[in-house]
Structure formats: structure tokens, C-alpha cells
A and B are shown apart, each in its own frame.
Chain A
Amino acid sequence: MPVRVIIPTPLRQYTGRKEFVEVEAKNVAEALANLTAQYGDLRRHLYTDDGKLRSFVNIYLGEEDIRYLQKDQTPLHDQDELSIVPSIAGGTKLRCICR
């Protein structure tokens, strides 16, 4: 069952400039495993060294965050669309609490 994985702009340099990649998968974990098997350089941007999905990475199935579905065990169906959404965060330098 092919599903489509949408690749965000900063990661397209690791997918041969492709905006999306089609993979065969029954669930989210399988889809990401197949994606990173095809494009090995993506792995370090999506997973921590111990193989967990990085907290800076959001995965959406359609319009829903998989955190609130069944996480990486969320089942996929033919023609489903997965989006990799990078967390965008920042700030200023914290002022020191000087005594």
C-alpha cells in the first residue's frame, strides 16, 4: 500500500530534491523505516542515536499529529499522506540571575 511522505525543504537535500517520497507501509514506524532505508542521510535528522524519533520532529497523518493517534504504531492506508513537520522554536539569551 503506497503512502506519500511529504519532505520539508531543509531535508530535501537528503532526498535528491524530492518534495515527497512514496513508500509501502502498514504503519508510521514502517513508513519512516522504509524512507530512511532509501535515503540514509535523513536518519540522523529524524532519530536520536538510540533510535527514537527526535522530539524536534512532528509527524502528521493528514491533519493529525500522530502523538495524539497511536504514535508510530498509527496504522496507514493506501494513499495516506504523512508530513514531516520540523519544530520551529527559538528565543533570546536568558538574563543571568546575578546575586
Chain B
Amino acid sequence: MMLKLDQSHLDQIRQHGARDYPSECCGILLGRADAKDKEVREVVPLKNLRHDSARAQALLPLDDPGRETERNRFLIDPMEQLRVEKDARARSLDVVGYYHSHPDHPARPSNYDREHAWPWYSYVIVSVQKGEPKDLTSWVLTDGRERFDPEQVDALNL
């Protein structure tokens, strides 16, 4: 599959990564999918629920909350996710994937990313080095969950 988006969508993701540096940012990609491609129509920035450590810990506990913080972990608030999803469905859009940033780390998925990923979705990662957004990549989990495969990102200039 290929992930198609506009240059403006890429800019939005990069800017969000820079704005929230040195914390991780996250958001939802809304669009349409067919058997071949996913096409992004909207980028919806969300807050990283790891900033609210008590609530995040109740929803999805971390092994080592001393070392795992909003600077190296993100969690999307399921309530916000549901709200965005319902609003999208009313406009015939689907959730096609998610994005998050890697502050001062390369744009490659971590083991933690893989352990928490779902099949089919596109997982876009933007590397933010010293506050500057750099590489942006997209990944799809294999059906057997053994690894992420890189996904081609096609940016349309509109």
C-alpha cells in the first residue's frame, strides 16, 4: 500500500513535532482507503495523554514510569479518539493511521511502537532533532506482528 497526502499535511505533522519538542506529539490521519492505497484528507493533532500521567497509567500502564515519560512515550486519549472517529464517520472519512514524533531519535519504529501497534493502520513517525523536524517515514505492521514494513509516502503538491 501507499500513503498519499498533501505537502500541507506533512508540514502540519512536522510543525506539531517541533511545537511539542522535547515531548512526543501525536495525532490522527483521516482519509479514505481502498485495497491499494490510503489517501489522507485531514491531519488531526491530539494531546499526548502521557502528560497526564495518572490517567494514562490507569489506561495503559508503563513498566517503568520513572524512565518512561511524555518525552519518550505517547498515548492517545481513547475518548478523544472516539470523538474524532465519530465526527469523521459523519463525513464519510475513516481513520487511516496515526503519527507521532521521535524527539532526538531517528524516524524508525521502536520495539515499544511495534508491541502496541495494530495491523493495517499507517504509523507515521517524524524525527525532531534539537527542535528541528527532520526525516518523516511511514510504517505498517505485518499481520503476524513480527515487524513493521516501510510504507511509501507520496506527497502531492497542492
A-to-B contact residues, CB < 8 Å: 8-10, 13, 19, 45, 55-56, 58, 60, 63, 65, 83, 85-94, 97
Contact = CB atoms under 8 A, between A and B. Distances in A.
B73 A9 contact: no
B24 A87 contact: no
Interface stretch (B8-16, B111-119, B129-137, B150-158): B111-119
A14 B72 CA distance: 33
B96 A85 contact: no
Interface residues of B, number: 40
| Secondary structure class of chain B's binding surface, majority of residues | mixed
14 contacts: A8-B85, A10-B121, A19-B89, A55-B61, A65-B79, A83-B82, A85-B82, A86-B118, A89-B75, A89-B76, A90-B109, A92-B102, A92-B110, A94-B67
Contacts of B24: 91-92
B19 interface: no
Contacts of A85: 78, 81-82, 85
A87 to B, nearest CB: 5
| Secondary structure class of chain A's binding surface, majority of residues | mixed
B78 A90 contact: no
Interface centre among B103, B118, B120 (most CB of A within 10 A): B118
A14 to B, nearest CB: 10
B120 A88 contact: no
A4 to B, nearest CB: 12
Contacts of B60: 55-56, 87, 89
Nearest to B73: A91
Given A9-B96, A55-B60, A90 B110 contact: yes
A93 B102 CA distance: 9
A13 B73 CA distance: 29
Given A13-B120, A58-B78, A86-B118, A91 B95 contact: no
A91 B24 CA distance: 8
Nearest to A10: B120
A91 B112 contact: yes
A46 to B, nearest CB: 12
A9 B103 contact: no
B70 to A, nearest CB: 10
Nearest to B105: A92
